Amino acid sequence: MKKILVIEDEMQTLNIFMKCLEFEGFWAIDAKDGTTGIALAQTHLPDLIICDIMMPDMDGYAVLTALRQLRSTAPIPFIFLTAKVTMTDLRQGMTMGADDYLTKPCSIEQFLTAINTRLDRQAFLQECFSSSAIDSAKALTKDLASTIDTPVKELNITSNARQITSYSQITDNNLDNNLNNNLDNNLNNNLDSIPQNKEVSQKTPGKKVSIFPDCPRLAPVFNFIEAHYHQSISLSDIAKAVGYSPAYLTNLVQELTGHSVKQWVTERRMVQARQLLQNTDQNVRQIAETI
Protein backbone atom coordinates (compact mmCIF):
# COMPACT_ATOMS: atom_id res chain seq x y z
CA MET A 1 0.00 0.00 0.00
CA LYS A 2 1.45 3.35 -1.06
CA LYS A 3 1.78 5.99 1.65
CA ILE A 4 0.80 9.58 0.85
CA LEU A 5 1.53 12.43 3.26
CA VAL A 6 -0.59 15.58 2.86
CA ILE A 7 0.51 18.74 4.69
CA GLU A 8 -2.37 21.24 4.65
CA ASP A 9 -3.56 23.76 7.26
CA GLU A 10 -7.09 24.15 5.86
CA MET A 11 -9.07 21.43 7.63
CA GLN A 12 -11.88 21.18 5.08
CA THR A 13 -9.45 20.69 2.20
CA LEU A 14 -7.36 18.25 4.24
CA ASN A 15 -10.39 16.12 5.15
CA ILE A 16 -11.49 15.90 1.52
CA PHE A 17 -8.04 14.76 0.44
CA MET A 18 -7.84 12.18 3.24
CA LYS A 19 -11.18 10.61 2.35
CA CYS A 20 -10.29 10.57 -1.34
CA LEU A 21 -6.95 8.85 -0.73
CA GLU A 22 -8.40 6.26 1.62
CA PHE A 23 -11.18 5.48 -0.85
CA GLU A 24 -8.57 4.90 -3.58
CA GLY A 25 -6.66 2.46 -1.37
CA PHE A 26 -3.76 4.67 -0.28
CA TRP A 27 -2.38 4.88 3.22
CA ALA A 28 -3.23 8.53 3.92
CA ILE A 29 -1.21 10.50 6.47
CA ASP A 30 -2.26 14.03 7.40
CA ALA A 31 -0.34 16.92 8.92
CA LYS A 32 -1.87 20.27 9.83
CA ASP A 33 1.39 22.23 9.77
CA GLY A 34 4.89 22.06 8.37
CA THR A 35 6.66 21.08 11.58
CA THR A 36 4.36 18.10 12.08
CA GLY A 37 4.70 17.20 8.42
CA ILE A 38 8.49 17.01 8.62
CA ALA A 39 8.30 14.78 11.69
CA LEU A 40 5.75 12.46 10.05
CA ALA A 41 7.81 12.28 6.87
CA GLN A 42 10.81 11.02 8.85
CA THR A 43 8.68 8.54 10.78
CA HIS A 44 6.65 7.05 7.93
CA LEU A 45 8.89 7.72 4.88
CA PRO A 46 5.90 8.14 2.55
CA ASP A 47 6.02 7.36 -1.15
CA LEU A 48 4.81 10.88 -1.98
CA ILE A 49 4.36 14.20 -0.16
CA ILE A 50 1.79 16.86 -1.05
CA CYS A 51 2.32 20.16 0.74
CA ASP A 52 0.55 23.51 0.77
CA ILE A 53 2.82 26.52 0.28
CA MET A 54 1.02 29.11 2.37
CA MET A 55 0.94 27.90 5.99
CA PRO A 56 1.22 29.90 9.23
CA ASP A 57 4.08 28.28 11.14
CA MET A 58 6.30 27.12 8.31
CA ASP A 59 5.64 27.61 4.61
CA GLY A 60 5.95 24.89 2.00
CA TYR A 61 9.32 26.12 0.75
CA ALA A 62 10.81 25.73 4.23
CA VAL A 63 9.30 22.25 4.51
CA LEU A 64 10.79 21.20 1.17
CA THR A 65 14.20 22.63 2.10
CA ALA A 66 14.21 20.73 5.40
CA LEU A 67 13.19 17.44 3.78
CA ARG A 68 15.75 17.72 0.98
CA GLN A 69 18.53 18.13 3.55
CA LEU A 70 17.69 14.81 5.23
CA ARG A 71 19.09 11.74 3.54
CA SER A 72 16.05 9.61 4.42
CA THR A 73 13.49 12.03 2.97
CA ALA A 74 15.43 13.77 0.18
CA PRO A 75 14.42 11.33 -2.62
CA ILE A 76 10.69 11.38 -1.79
CA PRO A 77 8.63 12.95 -4.64
CA PHE A 78 7.18 16.29 -3.55
CA ILE A 79 4.15 18.12 -4.97
CA PHE A 80 3.28 21.69 -4.02
CA LEU A 81 -0.37 22.57 -3.42
CA THR A 82 -1.17 26.26 -3.75
CA ALA A 83 -3.55 28.92 -4.98
CA LYS A 84 -0.56 31.15 -5.73
CA VAL A 85 1.11 30.17 -8.98
CA THR A 86 3.25 32.55 -11.00
CA MET A 87 6.26 31.75 -13.16
CA THR A 88 8.46 32.97 -10.30
CA ASP A 89 6.74 30.59 -7.88
CA LEU A 90 7.08 27.68 -10.27
CA ARG A 91 10.74 28.40 -10.89
CA GLN A 92 11.49 28.73 -7.19
CA GLY A 93 9.81 25.44 -6.37
CA MET A 94 11.44 23.50 -9.19
CA THR A 95 14.86 24.92 -8.36
CA MET A 96 14.44 23.70 -4.79
CA GLY A 97 13.59 20.21 -6.01
CA ALA A 98 9.78 20.11 -6.20
CA ASP A 99 8.42 17.55 -8.65
CA ASP A 100 5.05 19.10 -9.52
CA TYR A 101 2.43 21.75 -8.69
CA LEU A 102 -1.29 21.43 -7.99
CA THR A 103 -3.38 24.59 -8.00
CA LYS A 104 -6.24 25.14 -5.58
CA PRO A 105 -9.03 24.54 -6.09
CA CYS A 106 -8.40 21.32 -7.99
CA SER A 107 -10.74 18.49 -8.89
CA ILE A 108 -10.46 15.01 -7.39
CA GLU A 109 -9.50 13.73 -10.83
CA GLN A 110 -6.64 16.22 -11.12
CA PHE A 111 -5.52 15.37 -7.59
CA LEU A 112 -5.39 11.63 -8.24
CA THR A 113 -3.86 12.00 -11.69
CA ALA A 114 -0.97 14.03 -10.29
CA ILE A 115 -0.37 11.42 -7.59
CA ASN A 116 -0.50 8.39 -9.88
CA THR A 117 1.66 10.05 -12.52
CA ARG A 118 4.35 10.85 -9.98
CA LEU A 119 4.24 7.37 -8.41
CA ASP A 120 4.53 5.73 -11.83
CA ARG A 121 7.48 7.97 -12.63
CA GLN A 122 9.20 7.02 -9.39
CA ALA A 123 8.74 3.32 -10.11
CA PHE A 124 10.24 3.81 -13.57
CA LEU A 125 13.29 5.56 -12.14
CA GLN A 126 13.90 2.75 -9.70
CA GLU A 127 13.86 0.26 -12.57
CA CYS A 128 16.44 2.37 -14.41
CA PHE A 129 18.93 1.84 -11.64
CA SER A 130 18.93 -1.92 -11.41
CA SER A 131 21.86 -3.70 -9.89
CA SER A 132 23.15 -4.62 -13.33
CA ALA A 133 23.83 -0.96 -14.18
CA ILE A 134 25.93 -0.48 -11.06
CA ASP A 135 27.73 -3.81 -11.58
CA SER A 136 28.62 -2.69 -15.09
CA ALA A 137 30.10 0.56 -13.81
CA LYS A 138 32.18 -1.27 -11.21
CA ALA A 139 33.43 -3.73 -13.81
CA LEU A 140 34.63 -0.92 -16.05
CA THR A 141 36.53 0.65 -13.17
CA LYS A 142 38.25 -2.60 -12.20
CA ASP A 143 39.23 -3.11 -15.83
CA LEU A 144 41.74 -0.28 -15.44
CA ALA A 145 43.90 -2.60 -13.36
CA SER A 146 43.09 -5.92 -15.03
CA THR A 147 44.16 -4.82 -18.53
CA ILE A 148 47.78 -4.36 -17.44
CA ASP A 149 49.85 -7.51 -16.84
CA THR A 150 51.83 -6.08 -13.88
CA PRO A 151 51.45 -5.91 -10.10
CA VAL A 152 49.01 -3.07 -10.70
CA LYS A 153 46.41 -5.87 -10.93
CA GLU A 154 46.52 -6.10 -7.18
CA LEU A 155 45.18 -2.61 -6.75
CA ASN A 156 41.61 -2.43 -5.48
CA ILE A 157 40.61 0.78 -7.20
CA THR A 158 36.88 0.42 -6.65
CA SER A 159 37.39 -0.25 -2.94
CA ASN A 160 39.62 2.78 -2.51
CA ALA A 161 37.21 4.98 -4.45
CA ARG A 162 34.41 3.85 -2.19
CA GLN A 163 36.44 4.73 0.92
CA ILE A 164 37.04 8.32 -0.12
CA THR A 165 33.49 8.85 -1.37
CA SER A 166 31.50 7.89 1.69
CA TYR A 167 28.52 10.15 2.34
CA SER A 168 30.11 11.79 5.37
CA GLN A 169 33.01 13.03 3.26
CA ILE A 170 30.94 14.69 0.54
CA THR A 171 31.41 18.44 0.88
CA ASP A 172 31.40 21.46 -1.37
CA ASN A 173 35.21 21.39 -1.56
CA ASN A 174 36.85 21.13 -4.96
CA LEU A 175 36.38 17.59 -6.28
CA ASP A 176 39.35 17.77 -8.58
CA ASN A 177 42.06 17.56 -5.91
CA ASN A 178 40.45 14.59 -4.18
CA LEU A 179 39.88 12.71 -7.42
CA ASN A 180 43.34 13.35 -8.79
CA ASN A 181 44.90 12.32 -5.49
CA ASN A 182 42.87 9.12 -5.52
CA LEU A 183 43.91 8.26 -9.07
CA ASP A 184 47.51 9.22 -8.41
CA ASN A 185 47.71 7.17 -5.20
CA ASN A 186 46.14 4.08 -6.74
CA LEU A 187 48.37 4.07 -9.80
CA ASN A 188 51.64 5.60 -8.63
CA ASN A 189 52.06 3.16 -5.74
CA ASN A 190 53.24 0.75 -8.43
CA LEU A 191 54.71 3.29 -10.82
CA ASP A 192 58.15 1.67 -11.02
CA SER A 193 56.74 -1.71 -12.02
CA ILE A 194 54.58 -0.42 -14.87
CA PRO A 195 56.21 -0.28 -18.31
CA GLN A 196 55.73 3.24 -19.64
CA ASN A 197 55.25 2.12 -23.25
CA LYS A 198 53.42 -1.15 -22.69
CA GLU A 199 51.04 -2.03 -25.55
CA VAL A 200 47.59 -3.05 -24.45
CA SER A 201 44.98 -4.32 -26.91
CA GLN A 202 41.51 -2.81 -26.82
CA LYS A 203 38.66 -5.20 -26.17
CA THR A 204 36.21 -3.14 -28.20
CA PRO A 205 38.14 -0.93 -30.64
CA GLY A 206 36.29 2.19 -31.71
CA LYS A 207 33.34 1.55 -29.43
CA LYS A 208 32.46 4.26 -26.96
CA VAL A 209 31.33 2.79 -23.66
CA SER A 210 29.28 4.77 -21.16
CA ILE A 211 29.40 3.90 -17.48
CA PHE A 212 26.28 5.90 -16.71
CA PRO A 213 22.79 4.37 -16.40
CA ASP A 214 20.24 5.48 -18.98
CA CYS A 215 17.72 7.49 -16.95
CA PRO A 216 16.01 10.77 -17.89
CA ARG A 217 15.92 12.11 -14.30
CA LEU A 218 19.70 12.05 -13.87
CA ALA A 219 20.68 12.47 -17.52
CA PRO A 220 21.64 16.16 -17.02
CA VAL A 221 23.89 15.16 -14.11
CA PHE A 222 25.69 12.47 -16.08
CA ASN A 223 25.90 14.66 -19.19
CA PHE A 224 27.60 17.40 -17.18
CA ILE A 225 30.07 14.93 -15.65
CA GLU A 226 30.82 13.48 -19.09
CA ALA A 227 31.52 16.94 -20.49
CA HIS A 228 33.60 18.23 -17.56
CA TYR A 229 35.16 15.24 -15.75
CA HIS A 230 38.62 16.25 -17.02
CA GLN A 231 38.26 19.75 -15.54
CA SER A 232 38.23 21.16 -12.02
CA ILE A 233 34.59 20.74 -10.95
CA SER A 234 32.90 21.08 -7.58
CA LEU A 235 29.70 19.59 -6.23
CA SER A 236 28.17 23.07 -6.45
CA ASP A 237 29.13 23.31 -10.13
CA ILE A 238 27.23 20.12 -10.92
CA ALA A 239 24.25 21.05 -8.73
CA LYS A 240 23.98 24.51 -10.28
CA ALA A 241 24.14 23.11 -13.79
CA VAL A 242 21.17 20.79 -13.20
CA GLY A 243 19.12 23.17 -11.02
CA TYR A 244 19.35 21.32 -7.69
CA SER A 245 20.83 22.22 -4.33
CA PRO A 246 24.08 20.36 -3.50
CA ALA A 247 22.42 18.58 -0.57
CA TYR A 248 19.45 17.42 -2.63
CA LEU A 249 21.64 16.29 -5.53
CA THR A 250 23.92 14.35 -3.18
CA ASN A 251 21.02 12.53 -1.56
CA LEU A 252 19.18 11.86 -4.82
CA VAL A 253 22.15 10.35 -6.65
CA GLN A 254 23.24 8.29 -3.63
CA GLU A 255 19.74 6.96 -3.00
CA LEU A 256 18.94 6.05 -6.60
CA THR A 257 22.30 4.73 -7.79
CA GLY A 258 24.15 3.59 -4.68
CA HIS A 259 27.03 5.85 -5.74
CA SER A 260 27.89 9.39 -4.68
CA VAL A 261 28.36 12.22 -7.16
CA LYS A 262 32.08 12.16 -6.44
CA GLN A 263 32.28 8.43 -7.11
CA TRP A 264 30.63 8.77 -10.52
CA VAL A 265 33.26 11.38 -11.45
CA THR A 266 35.98 9.07 -10.11
CA GLU A 267 34.68 6.12 -12.12
CA ARG A 268 34.53 8.19 -15.31
CA ARG A 269 38.11 9.33 -14.80
CA MET A 270 39.26 5.77 -14.17
CA VAL A 271 37.78 4.65 -17.49
CA GLN A 272 39.57 7.49 -19.25
CA ALA A 273 42.82 6.51 -17.51
CA ARG A 274 42.47 2.94 -18.77
CA GLN A 275 41.94 4.17 -22.32
CA LEU A 276 45.01 6.40 -22.14
CA LEU A 277 47.14 3.55 -20.80
CA GLN A 278 46.01 1.36 -23.67
CA ASN A 279 46.28 3.83 -26.51
CA THR A 280 49.04 6.33 -25.67
CA ASP A 281 52.68 6.39 -24.59
CA GLN A 282 51.90 8.35 -21.44
CA ASN A 283 53.09 6.88 -18.18
CA VAL A 284 50.94 6.55 -15.09
CA ARG A 285 52.06 9.79 -13.48
CA GLN A 286 51.37 11.77 -16.65
CA ILE A 287 47.89 10.28 -16.91
CA ALA A 288 47.12 11.05 -13.28
CA GLU A 289 48.12 14.68 -13.84
CA THR A 290 46.13 14.91 -17.07
CA ILE A 291 42.79 13.72 -15.76
State mean pLDDT over 50-69.
92
Residue 1 has pLDDT above 80, yes or no: yes
State the pLDDT at residue 60: 92
Residue 159 has pLDDT above 70, yes or no: no
State the pLDDT at residue 26: 95
Residue 53 has pLDDT above 70, yes or no: yes
The per-residue b/e assignment along 241-258, b for 16 or more CB within 10 angstroms, e otherwise, is beebbbbbbbbbbbebbe
% of the chain with per-residue pLDDT over 70: 67
**What structural domains does the chain harbor?**
3-128 (3.40.50.2300), 131-290 (no CATH)
Reported as a pLDDT band with limits 50, 70 and 90, residue 104 is confident
State the pLDDT at residue 14: 94
State mean pLDDT over 67-87.
85
- Per-residue pLDDT of 260-276, as tens digits, reads 888 888 888 888 887 78
- Per-residue pLDDT of 198-239, as tens digits, reads 333 344 444 455 788 877 788 899 999 999 888 888 888 898
- Per-residue pLDDT of 238-247, as tens digits, reads 988 888 888 8
Residue 251 has pLDDT above 70, yes or no: yes
State the pLDDT at residue 136: 52
Which of 16-25, 123-132, 243-252 is predicted with the least confidence, judged by mean pLDDT? Answer: 123-132
Q: Tell which wins on pLDDT, 17 or 199.
A: 17
**pTM listed for this prediction:** 0.49
3-class SS shares of the chain: helix, strand, coil, % to 5: 60, 10, 30
| Residue 141 · residue 271 · CB < 8 Å | yes
Q: How far is CA 141 from CA 112, 113, 134, in A?
A: 44, 42, 11
Reported as a pLDDT band with limits 50, 70 and 90, residue 120 is confident
